[in-house]
Amino acid sequence: MAEQVAIPVGALIVAALLFSGVLLVLGKNPVQYFQLVWQGGFGSAFSLQNSLQRSAPLILTGLAFAIPAAIGLTMINAEGALVLGGFAAAAVAVPLVSGAAPVGLTMVVMGAAAMLVGGLWTALAGWLRHARGVNETISTLLLTYIAIAIMNFFVEGLLRDPGSANKPSTMPIGKDYMVGNIGGSSVHWGFVAGLVLAVGLFVLMRRTTFGFAARVTGGNARAARAQGLPVGGLVVACCLISGACGGLAGYYEVAAIQGQANASLVAGYGFTGILVSFLARHNPLVIVPVAILFGAIEASGGLIQRRMDMPDATALVLQGMIFVVLLASDTLQGRLAIFQPKEGGR
Amino acid sequence: MTAETLTTILIAMLGGAIRVSTPFLFVALGETITEKSGRINLGLEGNLVLGAMVAYALAYHTGSPWLGVLAAGGAGLLLGVMHGVICSLPRVNDIAVGLAMMSFGTGIAFFFGKPYIQPSAPRLEALPLGGWSDNPALQQALEVNPLFFTGIAVAVVLWWAFANTRIGLILRMTGDSEPAARAMGVDPIRVRVLATAAGGFLAGVGGAFLSLSYPGSWNEGLSSGQGLMAVALVIFARWNPLRCIAAALLFGAAGAIGPALQSVGISQGYYFFNAAPYILTLFIMIASARKASGQDAPGELSITK
């Protein structure tokens, strides 16, 4: 157990040191950088709320990667599910909003549409993997580009709001139908949805027969089949859950942040979610704090850009380094002497 | 649609196929080398983007685009070595490392590439091969970049070398059976690191084409998954360099449909036609997935298992 925490934390520290080296070479002060990340991410009530707000889609996209990972799939579906789910939510909202449908009903329909579309989009890749042996990593990446093209097609054509001249968008859903913030804060309810789903999916994957069967399949698909487990059904079910998480992230981006669907949905949350899930070792509960950490790195981006004159891609470099070092550190699993049980002891 | 517009579309697609296929071809050839050794590098998208940035920056500073091409290859080589070495550690998953290298490579490229978005660098000169025709559209379509021919030459050399040289034999043996390679006294890890490095070099050169020829400038939206599609293309081409040429041309033509239709004034459904290469790739993968795991695939490759 200690090893499960120590290796990722060690990888984070090593990546931070390597990144500091890069900053030193560029003549920047690494201490100042990490101070600014702290200040811009957690330093004040305002920045903390900013971090939590940005962590909401990362929790959901992290979960979207973690659930198929449990059954042994490497799926890059979250970005596509987010974009298409967010678009579906904005699209079904058009007739509801113009017909002045009840707010609660509209929100439920929008959220359900986002989760359904995201889920089915991902289930397609899962089914192709199971039935045809199509590699799911490549197919989900291709589906991501296709999803973005589908959204662009409608946003710049049929469903375009004539008022959106410079940035083609769907019709705004209007203030009344937007998801509000928690209490008096600036954090929207998507964060709470992420927390609830993280707990719920932790219970599902670790405490139920379904979760057990999925993890057995992830450990050894052949053995699972020999035991009579419905491998295909489990794969598709995990993909549906994953896509629903991504779609829900898209719903909150549309209904809590943008107010309409447009190219801003393609913000890379799906890709950062992969890193979040790996750092959390695909544990739904651990995904929450890790997502908040990455929310903080994003929230501090503007401050770092202003104070240190560094481009916004700085966060990308740091994330890339963490990702590479983290995966390399997998080789240490079970090989660090201090974590091994003592001879003869318990 | 008249015969004349159809001709215009076909000529535009021919020219587009030649232009768009070049980066596909380089990445696919690089990936073929890597996969022949029994490893998969999903991170070549990162090599492509970093290669494009490095080539553009160097061409801008030195005035020599060919120096840029070489530097792009060097940058790709470094990323390839990184991938190769990390994947040589026990218990490390090569597909996940590929994803990490992709985000690392693009991150570095965006970070250092900011100052080069505005200035314009000297581009690679194309060879005008359409002089025999007096059709200006055909002349334009046949302005072929020398890198395209370089790619074809590399493909032919690889095809020959895989079958007829000592290095080719060692590479294929390592990819098909690690125990057999060990029995012959070959160090599989060394072969795979070198194969990934060579693959990374070629992918970097492919990136140089993007920024120095077509589209011909550096910006952050330059590559839209060509590096990834090329990996799928290798499966479709069944790890055969000559089939890579045909597959790259096919993908290039698919990518050229949208712009070709636009050139005759058909802009409806532009985004759908732009998605054509992705849809095509997906269908090809569905059609060839089970077959690909047959005798053509390197036995040690994780992606077809």
| DSSP assignment string, A235-267 | HHHHHHHHHHHHHHHHHHIIIIIISS-BGGG-S
Q: What is the 3-state secondary structure (H, E, C) of B15-42?
A: HHHHHHHHHHHHHHHHHHHHHHCCCCCC
Would you say residue B200 lies in a domain? yes
How far, in Å, CA of B277 to CA of B226, rounded?
9
pTM over 0.90: yes
Q: Which fold has domain A42-329?
A: ABC transporter involved in vitamin B12 uptake, BtuC (1.10.3470)
How far, in Å, CA of A169 to CA of A259, rounded?
10
Would you say residue B138 lies in a domain? no
How far, in Å, CA of B305 to CA of B292, rounded?
10
Would you say residue B304 lies in a domain? no
Joined together, the tokens standing for residue A220 give: 């050894």
Closest-approach residue (CA) in chain B for A144: B278
A135 touches chain B (CB under 8 A): yes
CATH number at B35 reads 1.10.3470
How far, in Å, CA of B69 to CA of B121, rounded?
13
Q: How would you classify the pairing of strands B127-128 and B143-144? A: antiparallel
CB A81 within 8 A of CB A64: yes
pLDDT digits (tens, 9 = 90+) for B18-67: 888 999 999 999 999 999 999 999 999 999 999 999 999 999 999 999 99
Nearest chain B Cα distance for residue A102, angstroms? 34
CB B88 within 8 A of CB B193: yes
Where helices occur in chain A by DSSP H, the ranges are 2-25, 30-42, 45-70, 78-98, 103-132, 136-155, 190-207, 209-219, 221-226, 231-252, 269-279, 284-299, 301-308, 314-328
Asked if B86 and A314 come within 8 Å (Cβ–Cβ), the reply is: no
Cβ contacts of residue A151 below 8 Å, gap of 6+?
Answer: A83, A84, A87, A261, A265
Domain that holds residue B31: 3-122+145-292
Q: Could you give the 3-state DSSP secondary structure of residue A173?
A: coil
**Which chain B residues are closer than 8 Å to A132 by Cβ?**
286, 289-290
User: Which candidate in B104, B257, B280 is best for mutational testing of the A interface (most A CBs within 10 A)?
Assistant: B104
What string of pLDDT tens digits covers the 346 residues of chain A?
Answer: 688 889 999 999 999 999 999 999 999 999 999 999 999 999 999 999 999 999 999 999 999 999 999 999 999 999 999 999 999 999 999 999 999 999 999 999 999 999 999 999 999 999 999 998 898 998 998 999 999 999 999 998 888 888 887 889 999 999 999 999 998 888 999 999 999 999 999 999 999 999 999 999 999 888 898 989 999 999 999 999 999 999 999 999 999 999 999 999 998 899 899 999 999 999 999 999 999 999 999 999 989 999 999 988 898 999 999 999 999 998 998 887 777 665 544 4
How far, in Å, CA of A94 to CA of B12, rounded?
39
B127 touches chain A (CB under 8 A): no
pLDDT for the residue numbered A51: 96
How far, in Å, CA of B58 to CA of B51, rounded?
11
Asked if A324 and B269 come within 8 Å (Cβ–Cβ), the reply is: no
Hey, where are the domains in chain A? 42-329
Work out the angle at residue B211's Cα, subtended by the Cα atoms of residues B206 and B215, and round it to the nearest 5 degrees: 100
Cβ contacts of residue B171 below 8 Å, gap of 6+?
Answer: B33, B36, B37, B162, B191, B195
How far, in Å, CA of B265 to CA of B276, rounded?
18
Asked if B104 and A275 come within 8 Å (Cβ–Cβ), the reply is: no
Task: Select from A146, A152, A317 the Cβ nearest to the Cβ of B111.
Answer: A317
Q: Could you give the 3-state DSSP secondary structure of residue B51?
A: helix
CA dihedral (A315, A321, A322, A323) positive or negative: positive
Contact residues, B window 77-96, toward A, CB-based 8 Å cutoff = 82, 86, 89-93, 95-96
B104 touches chain A (CB under 8 A): yes
**Which chain A residues are closer than 8 Å to B86 by Cβ?**
324, 327-328
Number of structural domains in chain B = 1
pLDDT digits (tens, 9 = 90+) for A81-123: 999 999 999 999 999 999 999 999 999 999 999 999 999 999 9
Would you say residue B115 lies in a domain? yes
**Amino acid letter at A189?**
W
Closest-approach residue (CA) in chain B for A277: B96
Would you say residue B140 lies in a domain? no
Joined together, the tokens standing for residue B106 give: 């693009």
Asked if A142 and B282 come within 8 Å (Cβ–Cβ), the reply is: yes
Other Cβ atoms closer than 10 A to A67: 29
Would you say residue B56 lies in a domain? yes
How far, in Å, CA of B144 to CA of A310, rounded?
39
Can you tell me which residue has the tokens 């581009």?
A: B123
Would you say residue B270 lies in a domain? yes
Closest-approach residue (CA) in chain A for B233: A138
Task: Select from B93, B271, B290 the Cβ nearest to the Cβ of A149.
Answer: B271
Q: What is the mean pLDDT of residues B223-238?
A: 85
